[in-house]
């Protein structure tokens, strides 16, 4: 592994090592670009630190720094200090992601054109199209080993999938399969084949699921162009008198502060920390925060329309056995306003173990009805509903000066109000999800409200015009040429698909652009 000097101003600093930052850093290092990756979390060893235990792994991986919430979303009431369930570790949220890898659809990239303006929503077309991204989607799918692409077979369906599939087919759904998953259905790229452990959210103990922790990061280190500094929490992005970013201030694991000089800075801290960092980097020259001349930094926070349906059956299902999310119905992910809303949603298998089921089935619930539902645990099947939510300027990350983090910096407040479209879609999805299970013979269906957000999007949105957003179609700041954003916060709209594949795709594409621009000495 390379080691770069703090004063080395020829390096690209990448903040974060998850799907976006981890991929970008490796892609740059492969091209010979020198990269320092600053990761706030620890480096876990997947072979010794990962255990099949929900709360233990939550404690080891979750981002638990101070955060506050507001708005009418139920998460603000049920989990007021935990708006999002994302990871603070090397590998970021690729440790706990489920592996679902779907391309955003053509019509979703042009949401405003296709849906029309929606009251109370800030819809916009992406400054790029599916066609622009297709070659990069190809590369991402190959890199991640996505099943049902590149000749990779689908994963075998588990019990939970078989229940969903039986109901879906009886209901007339056509597009039902075990998913496009970045989980090996056969050994590939030095990683093992899935053993159906059932703890996809707890860090994959076999390494069958793609995570930057044991793919991108070690591959980058092997180039000799890449230095990873774990437990390096970036506090501020600094700039010079010409308004170019010049380095970053970070705290190491002992709390000692350092400045790493940089030629280029790429922010990939997920959609809460990335805008927070830009806002916390305000200076005399950029009094509203870095890259924020549009005032859009932190706005248009999206978290996907989500919800879950669990159903109980007379006979056992044992949904906990096997891959958590290897099962999908895509029929509802179309744009069809006859359903009473714009955009669409996916239906994906989901299971939780007893510890998390108790906490999330109906947060705050207690008493005999709840206990009776829990008693049905091994007779339950479950699905997650994930769809496009509306970007709203008022749904945003702001700095909460009343609450400070461990470094004395204002904590992020996450404000979210459900849009009517989100509620209409969730209502439809609850009905359809229940109908699937009823068609399979369910004795009872349970509608579960959204969990803390795992899909955090949109707070540094990509736009064609500088006045409409934070970054251009390359993820480059409209205001500062050598400042980039490299995570899901660049999403212009949310689309209905799980976002990781697109984050990786954009990072691969961005690496080409950054290397090219550096080569031309434009940055």
- Chain residues binding another protein by CB under 8 A are 51-55, 156-159, 162-163, 166, 169-170, 194-199, 205-206, 315-318, 320-322, 353-355, 357-359, 364, 366-368, 370-371, 374-375, 377-379, 440-441
Query: Closest by alpha carbon to 429, among 477, 384, 487, 462?
Result: 384
- Cα separation values, 264 from 24, 110, 424, 511, 514, Å: 13, 30, 43, 12, 9
Q: In a 10 Å sphere around its CB, with 0-12 CB exposed, 13-18 middle and 19+ buried, how is residue 327 labelled?
A: buried
d(CA 211, CA 207) in angstroms, rounded, equals: 8
Query: Considering the complex, what minimum distance in angstroms separates the CB of residue 351 from another protein?
Result: 10
Angle at 455 between CA 115 and CA 452, to 5 degrees: 120
> Nearer to another protein by C-beta: 382 or 458?
382
Task: Name the helix (H) or strand (E) containing 447.
Answer: strand 444-448
Query: Considering the complex, what minimum distance in angstroms separates the CB of residue 57 from another protein?
Result: 11
8 A C-beta contact, residue 319 and residue 161: no
Phi, psi torsion values for 307, nearest 5 degrees: 175, 170
Query: Considering the complex, what minimum distance in angstroms separates the CB of residue 345 from another protein?
Result: 24
Question: What is the token pair recorded at 498?
Answer: 């799980």
DSSP states along 464-502: SSTTT-SB-TTSBBSS-TTEEE-SGGG-SS--SS-SHHH
Query: Considering the complex, what minimum distance in angstroms separates the CB of residue 210 from another protein?
Result: 18
Q: In a 10 Å sphere around its CB, with 0-12 CB exposed, 13-18 middle and 19+ buried, how is residue 482 labelled?
A: buried
Query: Considering the complex, what minimum distance in angstroms separates the CB of residue 315 from another protein?
Result: 5
> Nearer to another protein by C-beta: 30 or 193?
193
Question: What is the token pair recorded at 264?
Answer: 């280029």
> Nearer to another protein by C-beta: 130 or 166?
166
- 420-439 and 159-171 are packed helices; what angle lies between their axes, rounded to 10 degrees? 100
Query: Considering the complex, what minimum distance in angstroms separates the CB of residue 318 from another protein?
Result: 7
Extended beta strands in 215-371, E state: 226-229, 233-239, 245-251, 257-261, 264-267, 305-312, 328-329, 345-349
Those residues with Cβ within 8 angstroms of residue 384's Cβ, 6 or more apart along the chain or in another chain:
306, 307, 308, 325, 347, 348, 349, 350
d(CA 359, CA 366) in angstroms, rounded, equals: 10
Query: Considering the complex, what minimum distance in angstroms separates the CB of residue 179 from another protein?
Result: 15
> Nearer to another protein by C-beta: 315 or 520?
315
Phi, psi torsion values for 323, nearest 5 degrees: -55, 130
Query: Considering the complex, what minimum distance in angstroms separates the CB of residue 158 from another protein?
Result: 5
Query: Considering the complex, what minimum distance in angstroms separates the CB of residue 233 from another protein?
Result: 28
> Nearer to another protein by C-beta: 194 or 248?
194
Query: Considering the complex, what minimum distance in angstroms separates the CB of residue 35 from another protein?
Result: 33
Q: Which residues pair with 477 in a beta bridge?
A: 471
Radius of gyration of the chain (CA): 22
> Nearer to another protein by C-beta: 101 or 351?
351
Query: Considering the complex, what minimum distance in angstroms separates the CB of residue 342 from another protein?
Result: 34
Query: Considering the complex, what minimum distance in angstroms separates the CB of residue 384 from another protein?
Result: 19
8 A C-beta contact, residue 296 and residue 510: no
């Amino acid at each position: 592994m390379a080691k770069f000097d703090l004063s080395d101003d020829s390096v690209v600093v990448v903040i974060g090592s998850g799907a976006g930052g981890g991929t970008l850093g490796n892609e740059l290092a492969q091209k010979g670009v020198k990269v320092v990756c600053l990761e706030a979390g620890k480096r876990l060893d997947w072979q010794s630190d990962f255990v099949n235990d929900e709360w233990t792994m939550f404690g080891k991986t979750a981002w638990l720094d101070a955060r506050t919430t507001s708005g009418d979303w139920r998460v603000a009431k049920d989990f007021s200090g935990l708006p999002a369930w994302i990871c603070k570790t090397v590998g970021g949220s690729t440790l706990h992601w489920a592996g679902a890898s779907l391309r955003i659809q053509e019509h979703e990239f042009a949401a405003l054109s296709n849906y029309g303006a929606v009251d109370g929503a800030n819809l916009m077309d992406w400054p790029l199209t599916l066609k622009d991204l297709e070659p990069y989607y190809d590369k991402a799918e190959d890199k991640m080993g996505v099943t049902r692409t590149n000749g990779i077979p689908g994963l075998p369906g588990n019990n939970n999938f078989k229940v969903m599939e039986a109901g879906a087919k009886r209901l007339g759904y056509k597009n039902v399969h075990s998913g496009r998953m970045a989980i090996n259905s056969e050994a590939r790229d030095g990683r093992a084949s899935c053993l159906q452990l059932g703890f996809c959210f707890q860090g994959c103990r076999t390494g069958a699921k793609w995570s930057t922790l044991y793919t991108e990061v070690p591959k980058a280190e092997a180039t000799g162009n890449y230095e990873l500094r774990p437990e390096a929490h970036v506090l501020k992005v600094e700039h010079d008198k010409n308004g170019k970013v010049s380095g970053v201030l970070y705290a190491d694991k002992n709390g000692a502060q350092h400045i790493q000089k940089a030629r280029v800075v790429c922010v990939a801290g997920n959609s809460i920390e990335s805008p927070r960092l830009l806002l916390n980097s305000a200076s005399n020259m950029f009094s509203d925060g870095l890259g924020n001349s549009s005032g859009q930094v932190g706005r248009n926070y999206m978290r996907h329309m989500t919800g879950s349906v669990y159903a109980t059956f007379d006979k056992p299902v044992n949904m906990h056995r096997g891959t958590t999310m290897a099962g999908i119905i895509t029929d509802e992910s179309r744009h069809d306003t006859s359903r009473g809303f714009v955009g669409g949603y996916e239906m994906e298998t989901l299971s939780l173990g007893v510890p998390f089921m108790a906490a999330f089935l109906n947060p705050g619930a207690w008493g005999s009805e709840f206990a009776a539902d829990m008693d049905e645990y091994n007779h339950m099947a479950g699905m997650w509903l994930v769809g496009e939510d509306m970007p709203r300027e008022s749904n945003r990350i702001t700095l909460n000066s009343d609450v400070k983090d461990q470094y004395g910096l204002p904590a992020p407040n996450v404000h979210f109000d459900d849009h009517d479209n989100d509620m209409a879609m969730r209502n439809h999805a609850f009905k359809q999800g229940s109908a699937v299970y009823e068609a399979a013979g369910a004795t009872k269906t349970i509608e579960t409200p959204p969990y803390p957000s795992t899909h955090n999007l949109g707070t540094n949105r990509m736009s064609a015009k500088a006045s409409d957003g934070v970054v251009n179609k390359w993820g480059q700041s409209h205001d500062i040429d050598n400042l980039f954003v490299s995570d899901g916060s660049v999403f212009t709209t949310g689309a209905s698909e799980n976002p990781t594949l697109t984050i990786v795709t954009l990072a691969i594409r961005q690496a080409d652009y950054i290397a090219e621009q550096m080569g031309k000495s434009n940055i």
